[in-house]
Amino acid sequence: MTPVATEDLRRQNTASVLRSLRHDGPATRTELARRTGLAKATVGTIVGALVDGGHVSESDAVPASRGRPGRPLVLTGGMLVGLGLEVNVDYVSAVAIDLGGAVRLERTVAVDGGDPYDVAVGLAQLAAAELTGEGIRLTGATVAVPGLVDRRNGVVAMAPNLGWRGRPVADDMGEATGLPVAVENDANCAALAEARRGATVGLGQSVYLTGTVGIGAGVISDGAIVRGTSGFAGEVGHIPLGDPAASCGCGRQGCWEASVGLRAVLAAVGVSEDGTPLEAAEAVSRRAAADPGAAETLEGVGVLLGKGVATMANILNPDAVVLGGFFVPLAPYLLPAVVREVEAHVTAAPYATLDVRLSTLGLRAAAAGAAEEALTQVFTGATAV
């Protein structure tokens, strides 16, 4: 076997051990050998290197049915971190997550005019400097963007609400930060975060709906993002479910997001677009609490939102649909109508329950998922620890 092939095999075997510890939890060397199918001697060698590198630690011994007590290995991974960034119209978020799943940094910055890309570059540079200053090694960064993303080339093909077309974000941000950079759709990242650490942990099939200026869907099947043939799956904000006369940022009329997106909701209840989507939604909630007409308007938004959720459920048959972003603080006004529409229009409803859940990760869901995605190279063996 050539040295290159030997190194590739070592990375793959190491990645198998890391994945097992991350997704299946602590295990003894014997249990790891059983889980991964690797020889005990191979696992022992890998674990020794991971312990020396500070990526794995041994916990207290636990009694065994036969033989010596085992010492479970725990994935710490504190010195190897993935950086995730979300670029949106009103804000930019950064989240850094280490191999063990611990959040090492969280930041959200409002975009006050100008190009959100410039804010994202500045935030990425600050985050990278802070993390590396602590002796942390960054595996790379993933940028989550609301639009059509050409992942292979690192290009944002179209992000109407940002005004981007054909923007080479991966190359540009990589040059600005000195990091390997990938680009991914924001809904895909948020859906991955909810599946790994949020509302849909343990579910096989789920859909996440962004609740920002644009409406996109991230689809998870058996723990993996469903991207479609060209990587453009999930652009549900542009299906014709909205008011036929409503103009959308994509240039068309009648798009779903033109009726249930943040700007549409703010305009409908007469609230100005200030701060982050969550702050704007809180202002809408206060208006609805004092104004029955605003509350009735939100119920109408909930009906349209529910029709879209029911449509996706009939096509994809997921275990759950997660409402994220500004939908969460407005849930008291939106969710009853959404549930009624789901019960009325989902064909499988009498036979299989569809859960409509609220995001548990707030505005940082997409950035957290992007950080998880940035670690993928390690967990697949493409990058050595």
Please say if the pLDDT value at position 349 is more than 80. no
- How far apart are alpha carbons 181 and 140 in whole angstroms? 6
- How far apart are alpha carbons 279 and 284 in whole angstroms? 9
pLDDT of 13 reads 93
pLDDT of 6 reads 83
Looking at 3.30.420.40, 3.40.1410.10, 3.30.160.20, 3.40.50.450, the CATH number of the domain 200-360 comes to 3.30.420.40
Q: What percent of the chain stands above pLDDT 70?
A: 96
- Domain 3-75, what architecture? Orthogonal Bundle (1.10)
Boundaries of every domain in the chain = 3-75, 80-190+366-379, 200-360
pLDDT of 277 reads 86
How far apart, in Å, are the Cα atoms of 210 and each of 14, 151, 366?
35, 20, 9
pLDDT digits (tens, 9 = 90+) for 49-79: 999 888 999 886 555 555 555 689 998 877 8
Token pair recorded at residue 233: 């799956």
Are both 3-75 and 80-190+366-379 of the same fold?
A: no
pLDDT of 61 reads 56
Q: Please, what is the angle between helix 292-316 and helix 277-290, to 10°? A: 130
Query: In this structure, are strands 355-358 and 217-221 parallel, antiparallel, or unpaired?
Result: unpaired
Q: What is the mean pLDDT of residues 15-20?
A: 92
* Rama region for 364: left / alpha / beta (φ>0; ψ in -120 to 50; rest): alpha
Residue 148's DSSP bridge partners are: 158
pLDDT of 38 reads 93
Q: What is the mean pLDDT of residues 348-369?
A: 90
Most confident of 112-121, 312-321, 376-385: 312-321
pLDDT of 68 reads 56
pLDDT digits (tens, 9 = 90+) for 185-228: 999 999 999 999 999 999 999 999 999 888 999 999 998 899 98
Residue 218's DSSP bridge partners are: 208
Yes or no: domain 80-190+366-379 corresponds to CATH 3.90.1150.10: no
Asked if residue 284 lies in contact with residue 271, where contact means CB atoms within 8 angstroms, the answer is yes
Please say if the pLDDT value at position 37 is more than 60. yes
pLDDT digits (tens, 9 = 90+) for 248-280: 988 899 999 999 999 999 999 999 988 788 889
Which stretch of 57-66, 106-115, 256-265, 368-377 has the lowest confidence by average pLDDT?
57-66
- How far apart are alpha carbons 297 and 287 in whole angstroms? 11
pLDDT of 62 reads 56
pLDDT digits (tens, 9 = 90+) for 139-194: 999 999 999 999 999 999 999 889 999 999 999 999 999 999 999 999 999 999 99
Average pLDDT for the chain: 91
pLDDT of 3 reads 67
Q: What is the mean pLDDT of residues 1-30?
A: 86
Contacts 24+ apart (CB under 8 A), 233-238: 234/185, 234/187, 234/188, 235/148, 236/209, 236/308, 236/312, 237/261
Q: Taking the model in full, what pTM does it have? A: 0.89
Which position has the token pair 């007590």? Answer: 69
